[in-house]
Amino acid sequence: MSNKKKTIVTSMLQHRESALVVLLLVPIAIFSVLRPTTFFTLDNMINIMKQTSIVVIVAIAQTWILVTGGIDLSIGYSLGLAGIVMTDLFSKGINHSIAIMIGLFVSVLIGFLNGAFVTLLGIPPFIATLGMGSIARGFSYIITRGFPISLNDDFIYYLGNGYIGPIPVMTIVAFVLVIIFTFLLTKTPFGNRVMSIGGNENAAYLSGINVNKYKIIVFTLAGLLAGIAGIMLTGRLNAGNANAGLNFDTDSIAAAIVGGTSLSGGEGSVVGTVLGALILGVIRTGLVLLNVNMYWQTVVVGVIIIAVCAADNLTQKRRNAGA
């Protein structure tokens, strides 16, 4: 291989997304060998895309928040409450368009309050969002009384279960949101300022950036994305369920971390997060096809998160040592 070709290959592998693509192909290859007749099939690939779509949307929101140096532990419960409020209003005869808007408003409000508590009251994001998550979950049980509320809207059902050609509608929506939020983060002054806040909040403030305003906007956008995900998940489940949002907080954080988003802020990629979500989705689906107990699946995901964080820390130390 010529030096020029080596340089090109080395340059490609220096990009985290390239490494993540390779990391994604490894479990695909392994599970394809172990389950050749069931894993690498069109139906299973579509199923993985469908299962990963909601996680991708929520993980986009989590990525933006992590980039600012924050974290959102309420996002799963916000997601669930949005769907519950919407279906409850459906059942009471409220105009469906209005019910959908109110469902979205609920999750947006939760996101806004998270941002306000973090910035205006100075509550650490971990505590503020943990508290808001508990409140949202409580309201979910108050409204449902522990029982699912049946969905009676064809449009919402189509969002969760419909297809355009062979592609699930949820996947198409997720893809559009990935494009929008990738562009916002990488190609706009707004995204640059968000990155600056996570990289060095004091420096961002001294340079004239309204840190509080941008943090509130990011948390509010996260609430909007949670609401969109919640409405689609309600369509997929065909019901508003108080347990629908469980684990989406950890799943979104895991996807973002595996995708290269730094927990200390200032570094993150929506595309990397999507690849992280796909890696975790492929591994979980493969383990299901191998009849691995669901509890062991959780253990595997935890091991992956710790391993990736450890690798990132070692890489960061080496960079700092070489600087």
Question: How high is the pLDDT of residue 264?
Answer: 81
Question: How high is the pLDDT of residue 6?
Answer: 47
Looking at the DSSP bridge assignments, the partners of residue 240 are 149
Q: Which residues contact 169 (CB under 8 A, 6 or more apart)?
A: 158, 159, 160, 161, 162, 163
* 190-201 pLDDT per residue, tens: 999 999 999 899
Q: Output the six-digit token pair for 307.
A: 């391993």
Closest alpha carbon to 219 in 132, 278, 148:
132
Question: How high is the pLDDT of residue 323?
Answer: 56
Question: How high is the pLDDT of residue 309?
Answer: 73
Question: How high is the pLDDT of residue 21?
Answer: 87
Taking the whole predicted model, whether its pTM rises above 0.85 is answered as yes
Q: Which residues contact 266 (CB under 8 A, 6 or more apart)?
A: 67, 69, 195, 196, 197, 198, 199, 200
Question: How high is the pLDDT of residue 146?
Answer: 86
Distance CA 283, CA 27 (A): 6
Alpha helical stretches, state H, the chain = 3-14, 16-34, 42-67, 75-91, 96-119, 125-144, 154-161, 169-187, 189-199, 201-206, 211-237, 248-258, 270-289, 294-322
Q: Return the number of other C-beta atoms located less than 10 Å from residue 302's C-beta.
A: 12
Question: How high is the pLDDT of residue 320?
Answer: 64
Distance CA 238, CA 291 (A): 27
Question: How high is the pLDDT of residue 7?
Answer: 46
The end-to-end CA distance of the chain, in Å, is 30
Which positions of the chain have pLDDT values less than 70? 1-15, 312, 315-316, 319-323
Phi and psi at 240, nearest 5°, equal -90, 120
Question: How high is the pLDDT of residue 22?
Answer: 86
Distance CA 320, CA 6 (A): 26
DSSP annotation of 73 reads S
Distance CA 116, CA 59 (A): 21
The domain ranges of the chain are 20-29+36-314
From the centroid of its chain, how far is CA 235?
Answer: 18
* 199-230 pLDDT per residue, tens: 899 999 989 999 999 999 999 999 999 999 99
Instruction: Please determine, looking at this structure, whether the domain spanning 20-29+36-314 carries the CATH number 1.10.3470.
Output: yes
